Structure 1
Amino acid sequence: MPSTHTATRYAYDAFLSYSHGADTKVAPAVHRALSRLAKPWNRPRALRIFRDQASLEAGPDLWATIEAKLSTSRHLVLLASPQAARSPWVGQEIAHWKQHREPATLLIVLTSGTIHWDHTARDFDRTRTTALPPQMFGWFAAEPLWVDLTWAGSETELSLDHARFRQDVGTLAAALHGVSKDVLDSEEARQHARTVGVRRALTWSLAFFLVASLVFGVMAQVRGDEAERQRKEADGQRRVATVRALLAESENRLAGDPRTAVRLGLTAYRVRPSTETRTALVNALQRTPYAGVSLGPDDVGQFVRQLSHDAGVLATAGEGTLKLWDVSQPGRRRLLHRLTAPRGNVEDLAFSRDGRTLFVAATQGHALWDITTPGKPRPLPGLPGATGLNGGGFGDGDRTLATVREGKGSSGRLDLWDVAAPDRPRRLASVTGLYDATRVQMSPDGKTVVSATGKITLDEADTGKITIEHGSGMTAWDTSDPTRPRRLGRDAPWAGALAFSPDSRTLISSHARTAYVWRIRPMRAPQLLSQLRGHRADVTAAAFRPDGKAAITLDGRGGAVRWDLARPDKPHARRRLLDADLSRGEDVAFTPDGRHVREVDFRDAVASWRTDLGPGPWQRAQVAADPVAVAAVAISPDGRTAATAGMQALMLWDITDHDTPRRLSVVRGFSGNPTDVAFSADGRYVAGGDDASRVVLWDASNRRHPRKTATLRTRGPVASLAFSPRAPLLVTSGNQPRLTGGIDGWATLWNLKGGRPAQMRSYTLKSFTNAGVASFSADGRLLALPGAGSGLFDMSDPNRPRHLTWDPGAVLQQDTAFSAKRKLLAVGDSVYQVNGTSLSEPAVELPDAPDRGGRVAFHPDGDLLAEADDRGTAVLWDIGDLRRPHVAAELPPADESVDDVAFTPDGRTLLTAGGDGMLRLWDLGRLPAAAHDPKRLACQVAAGGLDRTQWLRYVPGLAYQDLCR
C-alpha cells in the first residue's frame, strides 16, 4: 500500500465529529471498522481515529482539548445528521477545520437526513439539505465524497462481518489511506493471508513453548513454592520477633507510660493474634489503673481549670472564655456550655460540693452561676459590693461562700457570704489587713477557713539590703460564727494545694515537692500530723476520697500519688499514677464512689485512673456464712440478695453494697445438711436441698422473714437444684445408694404451678454415676442433666420433655452451666456451642485444665467462665475468643476447697464459697470488659493505636495500620 504520510506528522488519521444524541451506535461501529480494516498483523490498528468518548482524557478546559486533537488529525470525518447540523459543538469543530485545513481533508458519512448538491450553484442545496451544519455551505468548490449509511440505523449488528457495512466503510477507509478501493481490498486480502500464516506459525510455536513452559513451569512452581515457604517462614519469624519486642516494651512501660504500654500490647495482638498476645493484652488492661485521657482544645490564653467535686464536670477559663465540659466518661469529653466570663482575668473557679453552683473570681469582677442543669446554666445575682476577687470556696453545706481579694502588702480582704438563697446573697462578715489573700478554702462543715498566698514581698531597707517583709503561707480562721471570723494562726510556707477532708478534720496543704497533713480542731490552730514526700515536682493540687481514708496529691509534671490516710499521722503511698502524655497538673478529684480519680493538666487534658484496681480480681469483702462449710451459693435475679447453703442452715444476705454484705435471715428446718440452693426466675422463691432427701421451698418476698411453702421428698440425697427461667418448673437431681453397693444418679422434674408442687417426670441416670449440677438455658428451652446418658432435654413443652441425642460420655460426673448471652454450654472443662437444640462437636477444651471437681458459672456477658476448685481457689477462664481460651485470673487460694461460684447480674462481682465457711465477694475490675473485647477496651483506654511515628519505631518492616479505626 502506498504511504499516506506527508511532511506533517499527525497523531490521528481522522477526527470523528458527530452528534451524541443521534449516532451513539454508528460512531463506535465506524471507529472500530476503520481501525481494523486492512490492519497489518504486526500493528495494533490500521488507522488511528479520535472519537471523544473513547479517546478524550479528563481536563479542565474541554474545548482546548478538542482543539488540540483537531490540530493533530489528518482528516475530519463528519457523521452528518439533522442533530449534528444543529449541534453547536459540531459547528465549532467544522469552523475550526475550515480555518486551518483544505476542503479535501473533510469526509462526510451520512447517517440520517438528506444531502443535496446543487451543480449550478456549486454548493449544497440549502433548502433541501438537512444533515449539514451551516458552516459547511459555501466552502466546497466541487461535490465532495460522502458515504451513505442511513440504512445502518435499523441494523442490530454493525461490524466488518456485515457485507454492506464493510463495503461502505471500505470506501471511507480508502480515502483515508489515500489509495483506491481496489488497492485497499487487495491489501486487506494480503494482510488476511499473512495473518493466517503468522497465526499458524504462532500456533505451532505456542504449542512447542507450551510444552516447554509446562516443564519449566513445574520446575519454577516447585522453586517458587519453596521460595514462598521460606518467605513466609522468614515473615513469621520477623513477626514473632516483633511481637516479643512489643510485649517486652509494653511490660516495661506499663508503670510510667500506661497509654503507650496498652497501645504496644494492642499492636502485638493485632500483628499476630494468638493466645500469648491476647493474654498479654488482657493482663495489661487489668493491671494498669489508667482508664483513659481526653485531650482538650488547649485554647490559647486559658490559665484556670477546676474539676467539680464529683469529678464529672470541668470548668476552664481564659481570656474572655468560660466553658463547662462533661468529663464523666473516662477518655471522653463533651462541651456542655459556653458561659459569659466576668471582666478581667479569671483568677479562680470554685464548685459547690453539691455541684449546683459555680463561682468565678476575676480581677475586675466575679460571677455566680446556677449549673444544676449543666447544659442550661443560669446566671445568679452577684455578691453585693464585691469588686475584683482572687479566690473563693464553699462550705457549711454550700450555704456559705468565702472570698478573698488581694491588696498591696497586707491590705488584702476576707469576706464571708450567706448564699443559702442563691438569688439573694448577703455579706456576713469582712476581715481586712490580710496578706494571705490569693487562695481560700472553707471546710465542708463551714467551721474553718484557710486563706493562703504563694507570693513573697521584698523590702529594701536603709542598709541597701533586701529583706523579706512577708513570705508565702496560709492563715487559718475559726468561722464557727460566720459573722465573727477569728484568726487562729499562720503557717509558712505555702504554694499549691489546699484540700479539706469530707469530715472537715484534716487539711492537706503543700509547698515545693512536699504536701503537709494537718489536723483541724475547732477554735484551735491546725496541728501538723505528717508530711507527704516523694513527688517528682512541686505539688499543685490534692483531693480526698469521699470516705476521707485516702487522698491524691498531684504534681507539676502530671504525676499523682495515692496515699492511705486511714491514720493521717502515719500515711503511706499506695500507688503512683504516671502518664507520659500529661504535663503540669492543675486539679484532681475523686468520683463519688471513690473508684476513679481524674486529673487535669495545663493543656486541658483530663486523665482518669481506677483507684480500686489491683493486678487481678481483688477481694472486696468476706463474711462468715457457716461455722463449718458452705456447699453452695446463689444470687437473686435482681442482684440484691445472696443465699448460702451451709452445713447447719441456709442464710440470706443483703449484697446491695458489695463492700459490706449484711446477713438478713437464717432459714432452718432441714432434715440433714443443706447441699444446694437456688432462686426462682422472679426471685420470689428460694429452694434448698439437703442430704436427707428433702427439698424445702420458701417464699422470700420478705427477705428478713422467709415463709416456708412446701417440702418435697426426693429419691435420694440432693446434689443440685435448678429453676426454669421461663416456666414454673424445678429440677432436682442427686444420688441414690444401691442395695448391692455403689450409687445411681437420679433427676426429677416438678411442676410448681399454683403453689402446689407436683412431680412430672423422674429419671434414673446412668448406673454407678454421681449426678452433677443440672442447668437450664437462658430461654428455658434446654435442660442439661449430667450423668443422664445423653444428658440433654428439649423443654419447649415443659409437660413433654424430649430426650435429645448427645455423646453419652460427655457429661458423666460433670457440672454444667449455660451462658445467658452467648449460645454456650459449659460441661466441666469443655465448652459447647448451642445451635437450636443441638450442640457443636467437637467441644472446645479448656487447655491444660486439671480435674478440679468444682462447679462452673458463666459471666453475664458470656466471655468469662468461673470454675470452682476443690484445692482452695477459683479460676476465671477468658473464652471471649473461643479459638484462644486461656486462664485470665486465678483467685488467691483459701485454706479449704472452693465449692461454688456465682456472678452478680451486673457482672462486676464474683461470689465464692467453700470448705472454710466463708462467703467472699471479688471485684472483677476491668476483666469482664477486657475479655469481652480487648481491642475495643484498649482503643478506649489508649485513645487510639500507635501513630505513624511510633509505628516506624516499634514495628519496623510492617505496613502501618490504624488499629482503632
Structure 2
Amino acid sequence: MPSTNTATRYVYDAFLSYSHGADTEVAPAVHRALSRLAKPWNRPRALRIFRDQASLEAGPDLWATIEAKLSTSRHLVLLASPQAARSPWVGQEIAHWKQHRAPATLLIVLTSGTIHWDHTARDFDRTRTTALPPQMFGWFAAEPLWVDLTWAGSETELSLDHARFRQDVGTLAAALHGVSKDELDSEEARQHARTVGVRRALTWSLAFFLVASLVFGVMAQVRGDEAERQRKEADGQRRVATVRALLAESENRLTDDPRTAVRLGLTAYSVRPSTETRAALVNVLQRTPYAGASHGPDDVGQFVRQFSDDAGVLATAGEGTLKLWDVSQPGRRRLLQRLTPPRGDVEDIAFSRDGRTLFVAATKGHGLWDITTPGKPRPLPGLPGATGLDGGGFGHGDRTLATVREGKGSSGRMDLWDVAAPDRPRRLASVTGVYDAAEVQMSPDGKTVVSATGKITFDQADTGKITIEHGSGMTAWDTSDPARPRRLGREAPWGGALAFSPDSRTLISSHARTAYVWRIRPSRAPQLLSQLRGHRGDVTAAAFQPHGKGAITLDGQGSAVHWDLARPDKPHSQGKLLDAELRRGEDVAFTPDGRHIREVDTSDVVASWRTDSEPGPWQRAQAAADPVAVAAVAISPDGRTAATAGMHALVLWDITDHDKPRQLSVVRGFSGNTTDVAFSADGRYLAGGDDASRVILWDASNRRHPRKTSTLRTRGPVASLAFSPRAPLLVTSGNRPRFTGGGIDGWATLWNLKGDGPRRPTRTPSTASPTRAWPRSVRTAGCSPFRARAAACST
C-alpha cells in the first residue's frame, strides 16, 4: 500500500534509476540538465537529483543505502531501456517504489527499446514492450506520458545548448517542478533576466571599485617610488659594505684556501659589478694557483681512481663500473667510455707511461685495454694464468708489467710480464713468498721494482679482538734481469704513496703524515735522503714533475704540497695547495708541460692547479696583417678565422693552428682607411667600416672568396660597428666635428638586416648625442659576438 505520510522530509527531488551498461552517457547529461534548467541565480542548482555514480557514498550495506535514498526522494525517474528492463537493481528499485509510492510519482524517459500501451487491457503491452522491467506491468491505470530520448544515443554532445535535448528535458523538469511547461519556460526566462541584471550590477560595482583603486594606487605609487628610491639608496650602501667585506675576506683566504678566495671574489663581482670588484677579482685570479674543479657522480663504496701519466685521462672503478674520463680541461670533465670491469672488486689501476695501455687488477680477475684512442678502447688478451691480482705497474719503456697478489704473511706473489706485444703477453718471472704484495711500482727504466703493503689486521669475531697479521712496509727488487728478480731489502713502515722520478733515480714513499725521499741505485737497497713534512693528514699519493726536479704530495685532508727536489737530500716547499672541498686525496699528477697539477679525491672531485703563481697571456705567433697599419681585429664565433682591418682592405686569416696562422684572402673596396671589422653571430657575414662614411657587407661563407653584398652610407666616419648576437641588426657608430659652437656630435645607426637580408639593409632611426661623443666602440658595451649584454644587442 503506497505511503501517504505527508510529514516525510524529501532530500532529493528525483531518484535517477538506469542501467550503467546502456546509459552511461545519457544519465549524466540528464542529471546536469535537470540541475541547471531554470536555476535561480542565488542557488547552486534548480533540482537536487540523486544519481548513484555522483551521489552515492561508501557504506557496509549497498541496498540499505539505496533504499534510504529512495525514501527521501520525491520522484523516481526511470531511464527505460532493454538493459534496464533486465537489471535486477533497477527492478528492485521499482519494486520498492511501487510498494511505498503512487504511480504518479514515477516518470519514464525512454532511451532505447520500445514501450507500447494496450488500451484494451489498460496496461503496457507485455509482448511488444522491451524497455520496461516486469514490476512496471499492471501498476498504471491509465497510459502515462513518457519522454522519448531514443534519438540521443547517436549524439556526441548533450547539453542545454542542444535545442531538442532542452525541449525534452523541459518536459521532464516541468513535472518535477510541479508546473506547466509554459510556466517553466517563463521561469527560465525570468531567472535568466535576473542573472543578467545581477551580473551587470556586479560589473558596474567592480568598475567603480577599479577606478577607486586606480586613484588610490597612483597615490600609493608616488609614495612607494619615494620609498623605493630611499630603499635602493640604502641597499646600494649595504652592497658597497658587503662587497668590501667579501673582498677583504677573499684577500685573507688567498694563502690558506685559494678556492674560497676565488669564490668570494666572484661573489663580490656578482653583487656589484664595477671597476673596483673586477680589478680585485683579476688580482685574486693572478695571485692564486687554483685553476678550477669538476664534480663527478660522487659514487660511494669501494672505489679506485687513477690518473694517466699525462694527467689528461682519469680512470675510476668500483660498484661494478669502470669509466674513462677526459680531464684535460681545468674545471671540466667529459666521459670518454664505460668499460666492463673484471670480476670482483677492483684493487688497482695502472696506465702505461705513454698512455696507450690500461691495466686493472681485481680480486677475481684482471683486464688489459689498448687505449691509444681513449674514446674507443680495445680489449687485449689477459695475462695467462693470472688471477686475483692486487696491483700492477709498468716500466722499461712500457715493455714490462709487474703484478702482485697478496697472501697471508709471506705467501704473497710477484710476477713480471713482457707486454711489448700487448696482444701476446708472456710471463718473464715469478717470485713467491713475497711479504709486501698489496701495491707495486716499477721504475721507468725497468731496473727496480718496489712492492708494498699496509698494516694487515684480522678481526676475531668470537672475541672481538683485533690481531695484527703483519706490519706495513715496502720491499725493493732488482729487476735488471727480468727473468731473475732479486730482493734488495725491506723498509718499514709504508702508508700509501709510491712514485718514481722520470730518471728512475729517486723514489717517494709515505707513512702517516710524512713522505720519504729515497735514492735508487742499481743492485742496491734504497737509501733514505730526506723527509717531507707539513701535511695535515696522511699522505696518500705523490707525483714527480716531468723534469724530475719537483714533486707534489697529496694528503687525506684536501691539501697538497709542492716540493723543490733539485737536491733530493735538501728539499724545500714551494707552497701548499689547499682545497676545503676535497675529502681524502686519491691520486695526483702533473700535465706533460709541468704547468698544471691535477688531483682527485674520494668524493670524485677533480681539482686543477697552476704551478706558476701569476699566469698571463703569452705570444703564440705573429702575422704580417698589413705593411702599414692595423686598425682593428675580429675573430669569428667558431674561433677558426681572424679578420684584420688595414689601410684600405681587410685580411682574413685561418687560425685553426694558433702557432701557424695562414692568410686566406684580402678583401678590398674601401675608399678610405678601414676603422673597424666585425663578424655576424653565425660567422657567415663580415662587415667593415672606413673613415669615408661607408660600411661594406660581405658574405664570407667561403673564406677564400668573400662576396660583397651591399654598401651602406653612414652619417659620418665610422668609428665602430657590431652585429647583434640575437637579432638581425647591425650597429654602426662614429663621431663628427661640429662646425658651429665647436665640440663633437656622436651618432649611432641601427640597420635592420631582416627584410631582404644583408643585400638591402634598412636604416632604423639614428641616435645622436650633441653634448658628448659616443664611445669608441659599441663592442665595448657587450655587442660583440662573444659578449651579449648591451641593450641594443638584446633587441
Counterparts of 2:166 and 2:704 in 1: how far apart (Å)? 103
Query: How far does residue 511 in structure 1 lie from its aligned partner after superposition?
Result: 2.1
Task: Say whether the 8 Å CA contact 2:2–2:99 is kept in structure 1.
Answer: no
Counterparts of 1:247 and 1:654 in 2: how far apart (Å)? 42
Query: How far does residue 125 in structure 1 lie from its aligned partner after superposition?
Result: 3.6
Change (3 A) 1:475 1:651: farther
Counterparts of 2:712 and 2:201 in 1: how far apart (Å)? 97
Query: How far does residue 556 in structure 1 lie from its aligned partner after superposition?
Result: 1.6
Task: Say whether the 8 Å CA contact 2:564–2:571 is kept in structure 1.
Answer: yes
Query: How far does residue 542 in structure 1 lie from its aligned partner after superposition?
Result: 1.0
Change (3 A) 1:431 1:280: same
Task: Say whether the 8 Å CA contact 2:293–2:607 is kept in structure 1.
Answer: yes
Task: Say whether the 8 Å CA contact 2:30–2:169 is kept in structure 1.
Answer: yes
Asked if 1:249 is matched to 2:249, the reply is: yes
Task: Say whether the 8 Å CA contact 1:622–1:921 is kept in structure 2.
Answer: no
Measured against aligned partners, the alpha-carbon deviations of 1:924-953 in whole angstroms (never above 9, x if no partner) come to: xxxxxxxx999999999xxxxxxxxxxxxx
Measured against aligned partners, the alpha-carbon deviations of 1:789-846 in whole angstroms (never above 9, x if no partner) come to: xxxxxxxxxxxxxxxxxxxxxxxxxxxxxxxxxxxxxxxxxxxxxxxxxxxxxxxxxx
Task: Say whether the 8 Å CA contact 1:459–1:469 is kept in structure 2.
Answer: no
Task: Say whether the 8 Å CA contact 2:633–2:642 is kept in structure 1.
Answer: yes
Change (3 A) 1:566 1:45: same
Task: Say whether the 8 Å CA contact 2:723–2:783 is kept in structure 1.
Answer: no
1:62 is matched with 62
Change (3 A) 1:88 1:655: same
Query: How far does residue 275 in structure 1 lie from its aligned partner after superposition?
Result: 8.8
Change (3 A) 1:127 1:721: closer
Query: How far does residue 497 in structure 1 lie from its aligned partner after superposition?
Result: 0.9
Change (3 A) 1:526 1:737: farther
Counterparts of 1:318 and 1:265 in 2: how far apart (Å)? 37
Query: How far does residue 598 in structure 1 lie from its aligned partner after superposition?
Result: 3.6
Q: Which moved more, 1:540-549 or 1:372-381?
A: 372-381
Query: How far does residue 349 in structure 1 lie from its aligned partner after superposition?
Result: 3.0
Q: RMSD between aligned alpha carbons? A: 10.6
Change (3 A) 1:286 1:347: same
Counterparts of 2:288 and 2:519 in 1: how far apart (Å)? 33
Query: How far does residue 151 in structure 1 lie from its aligned partner after superposition?
Result: 10
Task: Say whether the 8 Å CA contact 2:689–2:696 is kept in structure 1.
Answer: yes
Change (3 A) 1:732 1:429: same
Query: How far does residue 554 in structure 1 lie from its aligned partner after superposition?
Result: 1.4
Counterparts of 1:365 and 1:285 in 2: how far apart (Å)? 47
Counterparts of 1:379 and 1:167 in 2: how far apart (Å)? 82
Q: Which moved more, 1:44-53 or 1:743-752?
A: 743-752
Query: How far does residue 587 in structure 1 lie from its aligned partner after superposition?
Result: 1.9
Query: How far does residue 431 in structure 1 lie from its aligned partner after superposition?
Result: 5.6
Counterparts of 2:555 and 2:19 in 1: how far apart (Å)? 78
Q: 3-state SS of the aligned residue for 1:428?
A: strand
Q: 3-state SS of the aligned residue for 1:189?
A: helix
Query: How far does residue 46 in structure 1 lie from its aligned partner after superposition?
Result: 3.5
Query: How far does residue 534 in structure 1 lie from its aligned partner after superposition?
Result: 1.7
Task: Say whether the 8 Å CA contact 2:352–2:358 is kept in structure 1.
Answer: yes
Q: 3-state SS of the aligned residue for 1:305?
A: strand
Change (3 A) 1:95 1:485: farther
Give the fraction of aligned pairs with identical amino acids, expressed as a percent: 91
Task: Say whether the 8 Å CA contact 1:266–1:935 is kept in structure 2.
Answer: no
Aligned residues: 770
Query: How far does residue 355 in structure 1 lie from its aligned partner after superposition?
Result: 3.0
Task: Say whether the 8 Å CA contact 1:256–1:580 is kept in structure 2.
Answer: no
Change (3 A) 1:78 1:486: same
Task: Say whether the 8 Å CA contact 1:307–1:589 is kept in structure 2.
Answer: yes
Counterparts of 2:747 and 2:227 in 1: how far apart (Å)? 63
Q: Which moved more, 1:643-652 or 1:140-149?
A: 643-652
Q: Which moved more, 1:312-321 or 1:717-726?
A: 717-726
Query: How far does residue 442 in structure 1 lie from its aligned partner after superposition?
Result: 1.4
Q: 3-state SS of the aligned residue for 1:678?
A: strand
Query: How far does residue 541 in structure 1 lie from its aligned partner after superposition?
Result: 0.5
Query: How far does residue 123 in structure 1 lie from its aligned partner after superposition?
Result: 3.9
Measured against aligned partners, the alpha-carbon deviations of 1:560-579 in whole angstroms (never above 9, x if no partner) come to: 33445566566554554444
Measured against aligned partners, the alpha-carbon deviations of 1:328-379 in whole angstroms (never above 9, x if no partner) come to: 6667777777767667765433222233333344567655444556676666
Measured against aligned partners, the alpha-carbon deviations of 1:618-664 in whole angstroms (never above 9, x if no partner) come to: 89999999999999999999999999999999999999998999999
Change (3 A) 1:256 1:132: farther
Q: 3-state SS of the aligned residue for 1:618?
A: coil
Q: 3-state SS of the aligned residue for 2:782?
A: helix
Task: Say whether the 8 Å CA contact 2:733–2:778 is kept in structure 1.
Answer: no
Task: Say whether the 8 Å CA contact 2:342–2:366 is kept in structure 1.
Answer: yes
Query: How far does residue 281 in structure 1 lie from its aligned partner after superposition?
Result: 8.4
Query: How far does residue 110 in structure 1 lie from its aligned partner after superposition?
Result: 5.9
Task: Say whether the 8 Å CA contact 1:393–1:402 is kept in structure 2.
Answer: yes
Change (3 A) 1:287 1:180: farther
Task: Say whether the 8 Å CA contact 2:393–2:440 is kept in structure 1.
Answer: yes
Query: How far does residue 443 in structure 1 lie from its aligned partner after superposition?
Result: 1.7
Query: How far does residue 309 in structure 1 lie from its aligned partner after superposition?
Result: 2.3
Task: Say whether the 8 Å CA contact 1:476–1:488 is kept in structure 2.
Answer: yes
Counterparts of 2:572 and 2:616 in 1: how far apart (Å)? 22
Counterparts of 1:495 and 1:689 in 2: how far apart (Å)? 68
Counterparts of 2:15 and 2:381 in 1: how far apart (Å)? 83
Counterparts of 2:44 and 2:34 in 1: how far apart (Å)? 12
Query: How far does residue 444 in structure 1 lie from its aligned partner after superposition?
Result: 1.5
Q: 3-state SS of the aligned residue for 2:749?
A: strand
Query: How far does residue 400 in structure 1 lie from its aligned partner after superposition?
Result: 1.2
Q: Which moved more, 1:591-600 or 1:125-134?
A: 125-134
Measured against aligned partners, the alpha-carbon deviations of 1:21-79 in whole angstroms (never above 9, x if no partner) come to: 99999999977775566655653443345689999999999999999998986544456
Change (3 A) 1:704 1:295: closer
Task: Say whether the 8 Å CA contact 1:693–1:717 is kept in structure 2.
Answer: yes
Counterparts of 1:332 and 1:939 in 2: how far apart (Å)? 28
Task: Say whether the 8 Å CA contact 1:619–1:921 is kept in structure 2.
Answer: no
Task: Say whether the 8 Å CA contact 2:733–2:777 is kept in structure 1.
Answer: no
Query: How far does residue 540 in structure 1 lie from its aligned partner after superposition?
Result: 0.6
Query: How far does residue 395 in structure 1 lie from its aligned partner after superposition?
Result: 0.6
Task: Say whether the 8 Å CA contact 2:457–2:466 is kept in structure 1.
Answer: no
Change (3 A) 1:417 1:23: closer
Query: How far does residue 530 in structure 1 lie from its aligned partner after superposition?
Result: 4.5
Task: Say whether the 8 Å CA contact 1:458–1:470 is kept in structure 2.
Answer: no
Counterparts of 2:185 and 2:713 in 1: how far apart (Å)? 109
Q: 3-state SS of the aligned residue for 2:620?
A: strand
1:921 is matched with 773
Change (3 A) 1:413 1:290: same
Q: 3-state SS of the aligned residue for 1:107?
A: strand
Change (3 A) 1:578 1:11: farther
Q: 3-state SS of the aligned residue for 1:754?
A: coil
Q: 3-state SS of the aligned residue for 2:670?
A: coil
Q: Which moved more, 1:428-437 or 1:195-204?
A: 195-204
Query: How far does residue 496 in structure 1 lie from its aligned partner after superposition?
Result: 1.5
2:777 is matched with 933
Measured against aligned partners, the alpha-carbon deviations of 1:562-615 in whole angstroms (never above 9, x if no partner) come to: 445566566554554444443222222334455554433345554455656758
Counterparts of 1:412 and 1:241 in 2: how far apart (Å)? 65
Change (3 A) 1:96 1:304: farther
Query: How far does residue 394 in structure 1 lie from its aligned partner after superposition?
Result: 0.8
Q: 3-state SS of the aligned residue for 2:703?
A: coil
Query: How far does residue 512 in structure 1 lie from its aligned partner after superposition?
Result: 1.8
Counterparts of 2:706 and 2:203 in 1: how far apart (Å)? 96
Counterparts of 1:664 and 1:171 in 2: how far apart (Å)? 89
Counterparts of 1:280 and 1:615 in 2: how far apart (Å)? 16
Counterparts of 2:708 and 2:120 in 1: how far apart (Å)? 125
Counterparts of 1:468 and 1:753 in 2: how far apart (Å)? 80
Change (3 A) 1:366 1:223: closer
Measured against aligned partners, the alpha-carbon deviations of 1:466-487 in whole angstroms (never above 9, x if no partner) come to: 9999964444444444345556
Query: How far does residue 538 in structure 1 lie from its aligned partner after superposition?
Result: 0.8
Change (3 A) 1:43 1:265: farther
Task: Say whether the 8 Å CA contact 1:409–1:435 is kept in structure 2.
Answer: yes
Give me the TM-score of the superposition, normalised by structure 1. 0.51
Q: 3-state SS of the aligned residue for 1:176?
A: helix
Counterparts of 2:207 and 2:737 in 1: how far apart (Å)? 84
Task: Say whether the 8 Å CA contact 2:539–2:555 is kept in structure 1.
Answer: yes
Measured against aligned partners, the alpha-carbon deviations of 1:196-241 in whole angstroms (never above 9, x if no partner) come to: 9999999999999899888878777878888999999999999999
Give me the TM-score of the superposition, normalised by structure 2. 0.60
Q: Which moved more, 1:711-720 or 1:10-19?
A: 711-720
Task: Say whether the 8 Å CA contact 2:95–2:135 is kept in structure 1.
Answer: yes
Query: How far does residue 116 in structure 1 lie from its aligned partner after superposition?
Result: 3.5
Counterparts of 1:921 and 1:516 in 2: how far apart (Å)? 67
Query: How far does residue 499 in structure 1 lie from its aligned partner after superposition?
Result: 1.0
Query: How far does residue 14 in structure 1 lie from its aligned partner after superposition?
Result: 3.7
Task: Say whether the 8 Å CA contact 2:722–2:778 is kept in structure 1.
Answer: no
Change (3 A) 1:130 1:710: closer
Query: How far does residue 533 in structure 1 lie from its aligned partner after superposition?
Result: 2.4
Structure 1 residues 943-962: aligned runs within 5 Å:
none
Q: Which moved more, 1:156-165 or 1:353-362?
A: 156-165
Q: 3-state SS of the aligned residue for 2:121?
A: coil
